[in-house]
Amino acid sequence: MAAATVAESDPAVSDGGTAFTGVHSRGWDESQLRKYSFPTKAIPRLSHTDPRAEELINNEQPVVLTDTNLVYPALKWDIAYLQENIGNGDFSVYTSENHKFLYYDEKKMAKFENFVPKSQRMEMKFSEFVDKMRKTQEMGGEERVYLQQTLNDTVGKKIVVDFLGFNWNWINKQQAKRNWGQLTSNLLLIGMEGNVTPAHYDEQQNFFAQIKGHKRCILFPPDQFECLYPYPVHHPCDRQSQVNFDHPQYDKFPNFKDVVGYETVVGPGDVLYIPMYWWHHIESLLNGGETITVNFWYKGAPTPKRIDYPLQAHQKVAIMRNIEKMLGEALGDPHEVGPLLKAMITGRYE
């Protein structure tokens, strides 16, 4: 059975830790997926003209749109084309000793002196990135690189022309219909096969447009906050899960046993809608070559004047974030937030 068919028609929870079964005709197979302990359901793959796709986006549920032409002019991009045309700007390139690129906020590091990031950011020209990636590939070790750079006005003319040819008509309509805020950025991601961005959530709406290669995206809804144990808000890894998916530490994070994901594999031309506050773990397929993605991050809609109860899970996450932030400010030291919260609830709210 083709993966597309499975994804469209089989929302059942799989027992083998992946939503995919059988042979796939879309250019990848299951051996290219890393193995995890939790079950997943398939994210629907739909045409952007299908009313079910509209409904999913309206309800802030993930969906893969197969035919938006959102980044059509970029589907010809590969490393050689980008090297020739992307210009002489600086690019943020992360290096990691293993396959994982756990995000950290450099601004939050000052108050966490003992925090040692597991990946390092370097600024370099595109050609330097390509040399570094090739050398890393030749060495064949565990070390990896990942370019993650917001598209800016240093890019060359041909890239600008490609960018202007994106389907702005479609995406502007998506934004307007849902009263989302402004487009904040387009992040260009160029990864090596097997690279992993560990599970985290963003406070923005995201249309994630795949350009080259395949990426597996595992999403978790905001109501799984208690299974995913995000770092504290003041920690550099704010919004990132503390759970190591490769070796879950169940003694520390017991609710991870209950986590259930939604997953898909996106290929060139696919656009995955990642709703704001939804957790996402993203991996470039093993032995699948380099991957290129451009995302479109939008501010969410303003808070409605009338709040409906019961609150939704993402609204509760926002409340928890605000409480942590307020306590950090009031106490003058982020390290005092945890002890105060513990003192406040221990023996009282359990």
Ligand X SMILES: O=C(O)CCC(=O)C(=O)O
User: Which positions lie near ligand X, rule CB under 6 A?
Assistant: 189, 197, 202, 206, 208, 280, 282, 293, 295
Question: From the CB of 91, what's the least distance to ligand X, in Å?
Answer: 15
Q: Cβ of residue 280: shortest distance to ligand X, in angstroms? A: 6
Min. distance of Cβ 216 from ligand X in angstroms? 10
Q: Other CB atoms closer than 10 Å to residue 187's CB: what's the count? A: 17
The closest alpha carbon to 195, from 121, 144, 135, 147, belongs to: 144
If the CB atoms of residues 7 and 282 are measured against ligand X, the closer one turns out to be: 282
Q: Which lies closer to ligand X via its Cβ, residue 106 or residue 251?
A: 106
Our CB check for ligand X shows the closer of 91 and 208 to be 208
Least separation in angstroms between CB 208 and ligand X: 5
Select 175 or 295, whichever has its Cβ closest to ligand X. 295
User: How far apart are CB 282 and ligand X at their closest, in Å?
Assistant: 4
Integer CA distances (angstroms), 268 to 67, 102, 210, 302, in order: 10, 25, 5, 32
Nearer to ligand X, 69 or 185 (CB): 185
**Closest by Cα among 163, 233, 230 to 198:** 230
**Between 275 and 328, CB nearer to ligand X:** 275
Reference 280, options 263, 298, 265, 266; nearest CA is 263
SS3 190: strand
CB contact at 8 A, 148 and 92? yes
Nearest approach in angstroms of CB 218 to ligand X is: 12
List, edge to edge, every strand of the sheet that includes 196-200. Answer: 40-42, 261-266, 215-220, 279-284, 196-200
Looking at the Cβ atoms of 213 and 328, the one nearer to ligand X is 213
The CB-of-95 to ligand X minimum distance in angstroms stands at 15
The answer to whether residues 13 and 260 touch, using CB atoms and an 8 Å cutoff, is yes
> Beta strands of 140-233 (E only): which ranges?
144-150, 183-185, 187-191, 196-200, 205-212, 215-220
The number of residues making up the chain comes to 350
Contacts of 284 (CB under 8 A, 6+ apart): 191, 192, 193, 194, 195, 196, 213, 214, 215, 290, 291
Q: Tell the smallest beta-carbon distance from residue 139 to ligand X (Å).
A: 22
Which residue, 225, 212, 210, is CA-closest to 274? 210
Nearer to ligand X, 242 or 334 (CB): 242
Which residue's Cβ lies closest to ligand X?
197
CA 139 – CA 348 distance, rounded (Å)? 56
